[in-house]
Amino acid sequence: MFETIKAVLGFAGQGAEGVPMPKSSLAMSPEIPVGSFGGGVETAHMPGIYRELGDAVADSTALTSARAVHALINSDLGGAVDAAIGQIVGTGLRPNVQPVAELIGWTADEADQWARRVERLFALWAENPDECDSAGLQSFGQMQRTVMRGYFGTGEALALYPVAKRRGDMFRAKVQLLDARRLSGSNIIERDRHGLRFQGGRPVGLLLKDRDPVSGLTDWEDRFVPFRSKSGRPLSALIFDHLAPVQWRGISPLVGALKPHFQFGRLADATLAGSLLQATLAAVITSSATSEEVMQVFSSADSDQSAMDSYVSAKLAWYAANSLKGLPNAIHLLPGETLDFKSVDTDSAENLADFARLLKLESARALGIGYSQATGDYSGATYSSVRMESATNWPLVLQRRKSIAGRFCQSSFEAWLENAILDGIVSVPGGYSNFMALRKAFVRCEWRGPSMPQADENKSANASKTRLSTGTTSLAYECEAMGLDWTDVLAQRAREKQFAARIGLPDPHVADPASVALPTGEQATIEHTTMNGHAEALTFSQAADRVAKLEAEARALPAQYVPSAGEVAKTTKLRREHHNEQRAYYRNEIASLEAQIEQKQEAA
């Protein structure tokens, strides 16, 4: 009992099962509510009171999650989140398996062959919902998007890795996604806190509330699911981003976007109401008569009716006969009265638009994307502004890709690979026992997603070409920036070149010499000797022009010589030979020039 009280007060950690809460201020600081408007972690400005950020996150998670999920479903914020998710995972992150060949005892080629085979088998599993999803509904790429939506909504992603072999399945490994609210809200005891079980000062598993899929009823008892099995296979994963050094649960990254988002909603409602009021006609009648004079006019009213009632009834009857309907019309007022028309004065449209843009900028910043990408408004945008916008937010995209989507993909890949090795689908040297001993060397993997959006693909391609030509980058780096694997690119190019040669076409990856930007200087001179024995020096541009001219002249020649009517046979023979010699001349000249151009290019 004493240990339980210490855990509640924040002084646990004396035993092996204690929760590490060093001098927690839970028992010393008052309960500070979250902000009533924005729903963020707002620890009111109380001087002299210290509150740990991890505790503030835990206390405000429920409210901020509810507001974030509501905003995602019922407003345009959901579309902006979809744009952010598209940059993070796209259609799905792809693995680049990189086993540590030195530890395993492989050569570089053996490791590469094994990695490529594993990638192909994993793609076969990931693209089929029946293989990868325990419910059989989503592909692995769709599950990645679901995980990211859960992260933006609740700040957490919860996944289980069961094993099931259904009819027709090749693989047993499955992924089951759960709502983070399924974590038990258990009381603080020695081992359990915030739906987690601790052992030796670290969380070792989840405490889940099972829910019947038909009735929707939730079990009273918690079910413990460890993070890993005794062999090290992933069994569950709770993924979130940390705001504090001591933090066990996540919080939505939309915390900073909720307040400006709701403010924008109120601004939109107020703007619409003002527009409707401006379209409404308000007529005010001003009278110079005093109350006593009005009462005297109606002093002969019915005894059962007060003087004011008689006055109002008489005026209503008068104005009913002189209404504003059917304009143009002549309005007759009572003596001493004037008619004024009133309208609602609101701020100018320019000021409202600027303020609305400011609110959207705050929301987009919290999402990690630019204003134009979040709203679809590219008015006034330039190439430089869009590129700077993308470059500024891209590090956050990469960080979320690696720490949220990448962690989910990595744990799923590890669970799949272990089962594939157990089932004999993937072979490793030394068998399963060696895999368990060198698990981290086998499962090493990078996850690649879409490249950074470009405002002008031509300028980006020229920049990449310049970096490659100056030696300041590598093909691997440039391909990685585009979300590609350089080995896959080269292998595909080799297959395309081989296929083109087989069907009699030139190499599709070699540019036409006439269109190549050729070097300048001393190497830009070609010593060319024509078929007639005439020697000449040509620059690259002159040689390219000569090739184009010769090709045009060759195309102008007919394929065969056609004799004219009545032509002598001997003359026909001579002219046909001359025609063939001309065609051969063009072919040889073009081939000679192209060979010299290519030789100079390689030398340059």
* pLDDT surpasses 60 at 175: yes
Higher pLDDT: 67 or 99? It is: 99
Per-residue model confidence as pLDDT tens digits over 409-426: 999 999 999 999 999 999
Is the pLDDT reported for residue 326 higher than 50?
yes
Quote the CA–CA distance of 235 and 208 in Å, as a whole number: 13
Return the biggest CA–CA distance within the chain. 139
pLDDT digits (tens, 9 = 90+) for 480-515: 777 777 787 888 888 888 888 888 778 777 765 444
pLDDT of the residue at 283: 56
Enumerate helices (H) and strands (E) in the chain, giving the number of each.
Answer: 21, 13
Query: Is the backbone peptide bond immediately before 429 cis, with ω within 30 degrees of 0?
Result: no
Domains of the chain: which residue ranges? 281-343, 456-510, 513-603
Residue 538 has pLDDT above 90, yes or no: no
More confident residue, 389 or 197: 197
DSSP annotation string for 152-208: HHHSEEEEE--B---TT-S--B-BEEE-GGGB------SSEETTEEEETTEEEEEEE
User: Can you tell me the distance from the alpha carbon of 143 to that of 447, in angstroms, rounded to the nearest whole number?
Assistant: 15
What integer pLDDT is reported at residue 535 of this predicted model? 67
d(CA 368, CA 362): 10
Range picked from 42-46, 71-75, 201-205, 548-552 for highest mean pLDDT: 201-205
CA distance 359 to 34: 21
**Confidence category of residue 32, pLDDT binned at 50, 70, 90:** very low
Range with the poorest average pLDDT among 44-53, 159-168, 171-180, 318-327: 44-53
pTM: 0.64
The band of 311, judged by pLDDT with boundaries at 50, 70 and 90, is: low
